[in-house]
Amino acid sequence: MAIRIIREIGDEILTKQSREVTELTDRVSQLIDDMLETMHDAGGVGLAAPQVGVLKRVVVIDVSGEDEEPNPIIMINPRITASSGEQTGDEGCLSVPGKVGTVTRPDFVKAVYLDRDMKPCEIEATELLARAICHELDHLDGHLYVEKAEGDLRDTRTEEEE
Ligand code: NI
């Protein structure tokens, strides 16, 4: 496993459409391992392949708390099939370091995806996990949360001091 460099806002790759994964190659397996390590190292809740410069439809999400066991979800070719409700809250992104913004997302989503063995799976998610799924899937279509943020982004440093 290796920690990969996280691309930051302004990098054109973050605006591009990612391609479906058709086959579980060693390269894809390696990508998944590296994404997990990179996400955990950076203390993030999720990471999408374009954030490490790879235009493939792969995301990893881990909403477990700091003092809990890591519990990552690996999603290949994910697609939201249902959503409902609304939640408004702070969102950040490893590609937009030091910033948070207020974003409204569905409060419930259902998604289908392939797991790391390419087995079809379905997940129902609420609250933070629902938000994370929406955020990471947006990356696969070249979108960042900053496009959806209400008002200005804020500094995380200021938040901590307040
Ligand atoms: Ni992000």
Residue ranges making up the domain that contains 44: 12-161
pLDDT at 1 over 90: no
pLDDT-derived band at 158 (thresholds 50, 70, 90) equals low
**Residue 3 lies inside a defined structural domain of this protein:** no
**What Å distances lie between residue 41 and 110, 135, 151, CA to CA?**
28, 19, 30
Q: Which residues contact 137 (CB under 8 A, 6 or more apart)?
A: 48, 59, 78, 79, 80, 111
**What pLDDT shows up at residue 157?**
74
pLDDT at 162 over 80: no
**Residue 106 lies inside a defined structural domain of this protein:** yes
**Residue 74 lies inside a defined structural domain of this protein:** yes
**What pLDDT shows up at residue 30?**
98
**What pLDDT shows up at residue 66?**
79
pLDDT at 112 over 60: yes
What pTM does this model have? 0.94
**What pLDDT shows up at residue 161?**
52
**Residue 68 lies inside a defined structural domain of this protein:** yes
Mean pLDDT of the chain: 95
Domain count, the chain: 1
The residues annotated as belonging to the active site are: 136
b/e 91-104 (16+ beta carbons within 10 angstroms → b): bbbbbbeebbbbbe
**Residue 70 lies inside a defined structural domain of this protein:** yes
**Residue 1 lies inside a defined structural domain of this protein:** no
Q: What distance in angstroms lies between residue 160's CA and the mean position of ligand 1's atoms?
A: 20
What CATH number is attached to the domain comprising 40?
Answer: 3.90.45.10
Q: What distance in angstroms lies between residue 113's CA and the mean position of ligand 1's atoms?
A: 19
β-strands 120-126, 150-155 pairing: unpaired
Question: Residues within 5 Å of ion ligand 1 by Cβ?
Answer: 93
